[in-house]
A and B are shown apart, each in its own frame.
Chain A
Amino acid sequence: MVKISELLEQHGKPSREVYLDNENSGWVPPEVVEAMLPYFNQKGYGHPSITNLPGWEAYEVVESTLELVKKTLNIRSGELVLTHSGTEANNLAILGTALAANKGKRRKIVVSAIEHMSVLFPARTLEERGFKFVTVPVDKEGFVNPEILSMLVDNETLLVSIQMVNHEIGTIQDLKTLVKVVKDVDSEIIFHTDAVDAYGRLKIDVEDLGVDMLTLSSHKIHGPKGVGVLYVREGLKISPILYGALSTQKMWPGVENVPAIAGFGKAVELAFRDFEGNVEKMKNLRDMLIDGILETVPDTLLNGPRGEKRAPDNVNVSFLHVEGESITIELSLRGIYVSSGSACTSRVLEPSHVILAIGRKHEEAHGSILFKISRYNSREDIEYVLSQIPLAIERLREISPLAKQSKRSIDEKEVYA
């Protein structure tokens, strides 16, 4: 049995640390932690659906958080269902829609090829229940072509799910157009969007977009882990996928994670305070990191688009001839925390389906690294990262036989040319 404490000791605490793994989870600012603390033992520590003071106090913070979220998304009607993660909210959207459709004629579920696994897996599972599962391909920058989408939906389509911003390569879909082409084919097709990576980075107007369901997650905006939200349009019927007793909401049983919901509310407030300034700052750091890596490290590929159609916080680069998990550990030892699309980190022994879907080769996907910037990063952080990456990649290329074999074959070509 591996002793994790000994692993941590062997790793050591780097003297300088830069956290760029905000895709997978993130740092929670002190203001957010402070907002949570009273709800553990000072007030609202009761159950929000019970008629006593601590219960009502809990209910109050649940309600005020949801009201704030509605305001940030311009939601005027409909319901926000609280779950305990974005994964749960996505599962509710997909499976809850399928269950409500029961034995109706609509049996087709259409999702983009680069959706998060918490959309792809439940949608694919429904194949076993007699549904038809269709994926929409994307182009080499990750965009869904509206014309192709339009051809793939029909009056037997139940649900379309396309994320607003891709979680790995930061592609910002033209969601309004995608919703329109789907609704033009058949206005009763339900449109869900996973907006987990868009919230707090892009302005989202639910009424203007015309989506029927939308997913959010607390820990993607510096809130605590343990809160997901599914917006469900007024009048839309979905079925619960979990059953139990007490909760203030029909669609998700079990007591709400009240302290985390209080923290999520504070995180929303902070994300939307000086929204434009935060986004501008992230964009500048993003471009500084992209340009810096591509200039200083040879044999690299940027995954995803550049400019205004790329999420302000997303940098994804494939480093050729080295394997991504090694890079995450090498950078971790240097105090830089990132994640990889390599098979070795995925636990399924296949590299990122997103990187493959944009036409990259397996070996290019294995060397892909995702850096996700936050408004809490500084220029000095990015300067430090840029000072370490060339050294880290060079060390791993020293270990790898592929870098030298590739170089040797180029040299030989030159010799024999």
Chain B
Amino acid sequence: MSTRTPLAYSPKILELFKNPKNLGRMNDASVVSQAGSPACGDVITIYLKIDGDKIIDSSFESYGCAANIAAASILTEMIKGKTLKEAWDLTWEDVANELGGLPPIKYHCSILAVGGLKRAIRKYFEEIKREKPEWLPKDLSKEERQALEEEELIERMYKKYGVVP
């Protein structure tokens, strides 16, 4: 096993960084969610426009590295036209594969993007529709949990450095 930690990106990531698809705030979104924190250096905002059980449009904003921007962009592209159930079933690995692979140290970018999406879907059913489908699990998905952990990580870092946020 190699212990190298390369930071070379797939060409797809650089292409999406240069020309991100579905970038920007959506004013008529059905639901908006955010994952990550400025202190971690990663924030993804996901906008979904929903009609019936289908995602008819999606966009994103991202504060983060190139992998972060690319992951959010390709995710919004992947979910357009999908049903909410199909979108929910996407995993962070699906997004990483679609990007042509991610360096291991950047896996969390894909996790954060999918975490943001699942948060949006959960929020849509819990706060907007107020009616949960059977396929939506009560417990947080892996990606939602890890997004939450990353947000909490900063609390520990502040403690470590003795800084009060």
CB-contacts of B128-165 with A (<8 A): 154, 157-158, 161, 163, 165
The answer on a CB contact under 8 Å between A1 and B38 is no
Contact among A2, A333, A342, A401 with B41 in the assembled complex (CB-CB below 8 Å): A342
Contact among A4, A322, A361 with B39 in the assembled complex (CB-CB below 8 Å): A361
**A351 proximal to B (CB < 8 A):** yes
**A64 proximal to B (CB < 8 A):** no
The answer on a CB contact under 8 Å between B62 and A343 is no
Stretch at the interface among A6-14, A54-62, A192-200, A292-300: A6-14
A-chain residues with CB within 8 Å of residue B24 when the two chains form the complex = 398
CB-contacts of A167-221 with B (<8 A): none
The answer on a CB contact under 8 Å between B7 and A345 is yes
* Nearest chain A residue, comparing its CB with the CB of B64: A323
In this complex, the member of A7, A347, A351, A398 whose beta carbon has the largest number of chain B beta carbons within 10 angstroms is A7
A7 to B7, CA, bound (A): 11
**A321 proximal to B (CB < 8 A):** yes
CB-contacts of A374-402 with B (<8 A): 398-402
Q: Known interface pairs A7-B10, A7-B14. Does A2 touch B38 (Cβ–Cβ under 8 Å)?
A: no
A6 to B100, CA, bound (A): 11
A343 to B67, CA, bound (A): 13
CB-contacts of A1-45 with B (<8 A): 1-4, 6-7, 9-11
The answer on a CB contact under 8 Å between A342 and B38 is no
* Nearest chain A residue, comparing its CB with the CB of B62: A399
A344 to B23, CA, bound (A): 21
**B97 proximal to A (CB < 8 A):** no
* Nearest chain B residue, comparing its CB with the CB of A397: B63
Interface size class of A (residues with CB under 8 A): 35 or more
**Distance (whole angstroms) from the CB of B72 to the closest CB of chain A:** 9
Contact among A10, A333, A399 with B11 in the assembled complex (CB-CB below 8 Å): A10
A324 to B66, CA, bound (A): 10
Q: Known interface pairs A7-B14, A323-B68. Does A2 touch B63 (Cβ–Cβ under 8 Å)?
A: no
**A114 proximal to B (CB < 8 A):** no
**A417 proximal to B (CB < 8 A):** no
A-chain residues with CB within 8 Å of residue B68 when the two chains form the complex = 323, 326, 344
Q: Chain B interface mostly helix, strand, loop or mixed?
A: mixed
Q: Known interface pairs A326-B64, A344-B64, A362-B157. Does A401 touch B45 (Cβ–Cβ under 8 Å)?
A: yes
The answer on a CB contact under 8 Å between B41 and A329 is no
The answer on a CB contact under 8 Å between B63 and A362 is no
The answer on a CB contact under 8 Å between B100 and A2 is yes
**Distance (whole angstroms) from the CB of B4 to the closest CB of chain A:** 10
The answer on a CB contact under 8 Å between B40 and A362 is yes
A30 to B69, CA, bound (A): 39
A329 to B68, CA, bound (A): 13
**Distance (whole angstroms) from the CB of B11 to the closest CB of chain A:** 4
The answer on a CB contact under 8 Å between A363 and B11 is no
* Nearest chain B residue, comparing its CB with the CB of A343: B41
The answer on a CB contact under 8 Å between A325 and B62 is no
B-chain residues with CB within 8 Å of residue A2 when the two chains form the complex = 6, 8-10, 100-101, 103
The answer on a CB contact under 8 Å between B66 and A363 is no
**Distance (whole angstroms) from the CB of B64 to the closest CB of chain A:** 5
A-chain residues with CB within 8 Å of residue B5 when the two chains form the complex = 347
The answer on a CB contact under 8 Å between B8 and A400 is no
B-chain residues with CB within 8 Å of residue A349 when the two chains form the complex = 105, 108
* Nearest chain A residue, comparing its CB with the CB of B153: A349
The answer on a CB contact under 8 Å between B61 and A400 is yes
**B81 proximal to A (CB < 8 A):** no
A127 to B69, CA, bound (A): 40
**Distance (whole angstroms) from the CB of A175 to the closest CB of chain B:** 26
CB-contacts of B1-58 with A (<8 A): 5-11, 14-15, 17-18, 20, 23-25, 34, 38-43, 45
Q: Known interface pairs A361-B39, A399-B20. Does A3 touch B11 (Cβ–Cβ under 8 Å)?
A: yes
A351 to B42, CA, bound (A): 12
B-chain residues with CB within 8 Å of residue A306 when the two chains form the complex = none
In this complex, the member of A366, A398, A399, A404 whose beta carbon has the largest number of chain B beta carbons within 10 angstroms is A399
A-chain residues with CB within 8 Å of residue B157 when the two chains form the complex = 350, 362
B-chain residues with CB within 8 Å of residue A350 when the two chains form the complex = 157
* Nearest chain A residue, comparing its CB with the CB of B5: A347
* Nearest chain B residue, comparing its CB with the CB of A361: B39
List 7 contacting pairs A-B, 8 Å CB cutoff, sorted by A: A7-B14, A9-B11, A323-B42, A329-B65, A366-B38, A400-B61, A404-B25
Interface residues of A (CB under 8 A from B): 1-4, 6-7, 9-11, 321-326, 329-330, 333, 342-345, 347, 349-351, 356, 361-363, 366, 398-402, 404
Please give me the 8 A-B residue pairs with the lowest Cβ-Cβ distance, nearest first.
A10-B11, A401-B61, A366-B41, A325-B65, A344-B65, A362-B39, A363-B38, A400-B63
Given pairs A329-B14, A344-B65, 20 additional interface contacts (CB within 8 A): A2-B6, A2-B9, A2-B100, A7-B9, A7-B11, A323-B41, A326-B69, A343-B40, A351-B41, A356-B163, A362-B157, A363-B38, A363-B41, A399-B62, A399-B63, A401-B34, A401-B43, A402-B38, A402-B63, A404-B25
